[in-house]
Amino acid sequence: MTEELRNSRLAPRWRTILIRRHSIVTRLTHWLNVLCLSVLLLSGLQIFNAYPQLHWGQYGADADPAFLKIGASEGDGEPHGFFRIGGVTVPTTGVLGLSKIDGEWTPRAFPAWLTLPSYHDLAAGRRWHFFFAWVFVVNGLVYLGYGLLSRHFRRDLVPDRHELAPRHLWREIVDHARLRFPKGEKARRYNALQKLTYIVVIAALLPLMVLTGLTMSPGVDAAFPVLLDIFGGRQSARTLHFITASLLVAFVAVHVAMVILSGPWNNMRSMITGRYAIRQEGPDA
């Protein structure tokens, strides 16, 4: 027997199998969240355009200093868009603060292609935003109830003591930085970084976004004035709402990048059909 033949017989054989990764409830609530968050982002930017600056505290009158502002100014006979945070001002003509509409430069915090509706209409933006905000809340409650009753949270999202060990977490951070994703049996479940990220999003960012949104409503404030005390005023709640939404956008951007880099077809199939392909050592299929 030749050395090559002996080695080929001793080498492990691998087969590809499909495992059940996501339940029907998880998949439906996931895609409804995609729709809701997309509409909430675009309509939220429409609402922000009506008053494109952020304050901290109970009030935010024009005389009060804003720590973040997107706008336009005149200089050298030409309009200029700018983004200002604290004492730092960044020119943003054509992107933020100043957009070309019908061939003319028009002051506008976010451009038309980023808002819903594209034209300036605060009332329409608020209707879109409020409707999908309540759809988002109901959808979240359905997912929360399912996660508790099915033990999905405890089984799939809570890391164990080994996964929280600093050495283990550091190894996962290095592997992600090098784009080395879990293979085989390790791909059956979320890794520690995924679990911790989803916990922060589900238990912190999403509730904070909902509560700060409610705090901006005068009717809700009248019924639950404690919200104003918790967040330090309506303008503070608006600022926290904007920051939380920005963090969620960053999370979604990283999430989509990881989906593409780790195998877009396999990941999309798992979130559409619930089935995820892994390679497993064993006899050929």
- Predicted confidence (pLDDT) at residue 263 exceeds the cutoff of 50: yes
Task: Note the pTM of the prediction, 2 decimals.
Answer: 0.86
Structural domain contains residue 40: no
pLDDT, residue 155, reads 85
- Alpha-carbon gap, residue 230 to 58, rounded angstroms: 12
* Predicted confidence (pLDDT) per residue in 48-58, tens digit: 999 999 988 76
pLDDT, residue 13, reads 63
Q: CA 187 → CA 39, 151, 266, 273, distances in Å?
A: 32, 20, 11, 17
pLDDT, residue 285, reads 44
Assigned token pair, 85: 């945070």
- Predicted confidence (pLDDT) at residue 252 exceeds the cutoff of 90: yes
* Predicted confidence (pLDDT) per residue in 1-28, tens digit: 565 555 555 555 667 787 888 889 999 9
Q: Are strands 104-108 and 97-101 parallel, antiparallel or unpaired?
A: antiparallel
Structural domain contains residue 87: yes
- Alpha-carbon gap, residue 164 to 237, rounded angstroms: 33
Instruction: Judge whether 81 and 71 are in contact, CB under 8 Å.
Output: yes
* Predicted confidence (pLDDT) per residue in 164-213, tens digit: 898 988 998 898 888 888 877 777 788 888 899 999 999 999 999 999 99
Structural domain contains residue 32: no
Structural domain contains residue 151: no
Structural domain contains residue 69: yes
Q: CA 64 → CA 54, 60, 61, 132, 197, distances in Å?
A: 10, 6, 5, 32, 36
Structural domain contains residue 97: yes
Structural domain contains residue 86: yes
Calculate the average pLDDT of the chain. 87
Helix (H) or strand (E) holding 145: helix 122-149
Write out the residue range of the structural domain in which residue 59 sits: 53-109
Structural domain contains residue 67: yes
**Number of structural domains found in the chain:** 1
Assigned token pair, 244: 């939380």
